[in-house]
Amino acid sequence: MAIWPRKNRQEKARVCDPHADPFAVFEEVSLDLGGKQILSGLTLSLKEDRIGVIGLNGSGKSSFVRLLNGLRQPAGGALTLFGAEAASAAPELPRHVGFVFQNPDHQAIFPTVEEEIAFGLTQLGRDRRESRDEALEFLAIHGCAQLASMPIAELSEGQKQLVCILSVLVMEPRLLVLDEPLTSLDMLATRKIREKVLSLPQKIVMVSHDFSHFEGFDRILWLEEGRLRMDGPPYEVLRAFEADIDRRSGVKLELAAL
């Protein structure tokens, strides 16, 4: 829509280093939402390629991963993302951190697939024609050329989620954060999307309730009531988590406590 010339705004100096290792460092980080403490006392650093996040509903998983791309800002403590302090990094984070939400219907913001993919490119400053061509090419590389002109509303759930993932990948982020991306998918779509995600060169942080999704992961974080309950290799953490669930549910099923 570049009908008239636009003022060239000065680009701000970049503060983030996309290759920072570790990419995120938490020191006593806490988070409040609406006067309620959601996360507290988080101290950890993230650098592994494949990191999983588990915990019961309301444990703060979603808020935790939203800290990683600047959607939430810590209330206390120090958070360093890609080598920069969280607040100053926030405007740049969408470049480096792709975020995939649980419900693709709440993420895709354009009427058609092609526009949805092209949006990421226009965000980076490409013009309309360039981004359109690149989007078509990108879709073809990922074997989705036939989806280009489809309305998002008419895709299957699996296709929708795939488009959402591609729409952030096209911005070539360093890190991909996925917040329960497989929850509404059938088994075939789950497997396809999971394999797609695992094949990516990006670093991955994924939230899930289903442990089978963590095959091939390097590290699991277990959150409980806003705190880090356990942190370690998948086998140990997942086993401890399961043991805890058995202990809590095994004795007596009290519906009110669910």
Q: Which residues bind another protein (CB under 8 A)?
A: 1-4, 6-11, 66, 69-71, 91-92, 94-95, 97, 99, 101, 103, 105-115, 118-128, 131-132, 135, 148-149, 151-153, 167-168, 171
- Structure tokens of 14? 């970049």
**Minimum distance of another protein from residue 105's CB (angstroms):** 6
47: CB partners within 8 A, 6+ apart: 21, 22, 23
Geometric angle at alpha carbon 72, from 69 and 75, rounded to 5°: 130
Which whole-number Å values give the CA distances from 154 to 49, 112, 113, 174, 185, in the listed order? 34, 9, 10, 30, 15
Least distance (Å) between residue 147 CB and another protein: 11
Residue 72: φ, ψ to 5°: -125, 150
Pairing of strands 84-85, 97-100: unpaired
Task: Report DSSP state, residue 209.
Answer: S
List Cα–Cα distances, 121 to 24, 144, 179, 212, in angstroms: 25, 17, 23, 34
Residue 191 is encoded by which pair of tokens?
């497997």
- Min CB(63)–another protein separation in Å: 12
CB of 62 to another protein, least distance (A): 10
Min CB(167)–another protein separation in Å = 8
Could you say which DSSP state residue 202 is in?
Answer: S
Shortest Å, Cβ 108 to another protein: 7
Q: Which among 244, 243, 211 is positioned nearest to 225, based on CA atoms? A: 244
Smaller CB separation from another protein, 170 or 185: 170
Q: Identify which of residues 105 and 231 has a Cβ nearer to another protein in the complex.
A: 105
Taking the least distance from each CB to another protein, the nearer of 9 and 247 is 9
Residue number, 54 or 65, with CB nearest to another protein: 65
Q: Return the number of the residue (59 or 115) whose C-beta is nearest another protein.
A: 115
Q: Residue 9 or residue 252: which is nearer to another protein going by CB?
A: 9
Terminal CA-CA length for the chain? 52
